[in-house]
Amino acid sequence: MIRLTLYTTLGCHLCQQLEGLLVSLCHEPVEWTRVEISEDDALMARYGVRIPVLADAAGNELDRGFEPARLVAWLEARGWLDEEAWRQLRRRLDGEGVGGEARAAQIRNGRRYLGE
Beta carbons of 6 and 54 less than 8 angstroms apart: yes
Could you tell me the residue ranges of all domains in the chain?
2-101
Span 2-101 CATH architecture: 3-Layer(aba) Sandwich (3.40)
For 67-107, the pLDDT digits (tens) are 999 999 999 999 999 999 999 999 988 875 444 444 556 66
> For residue 115, what pLDDT is reported?
54
Confidence check: pLDDT of 20 > 80? yes
For 42-76, the pLDDT digits (tens) are 999 999 999 999 999 999 999 988 899 999 999 99
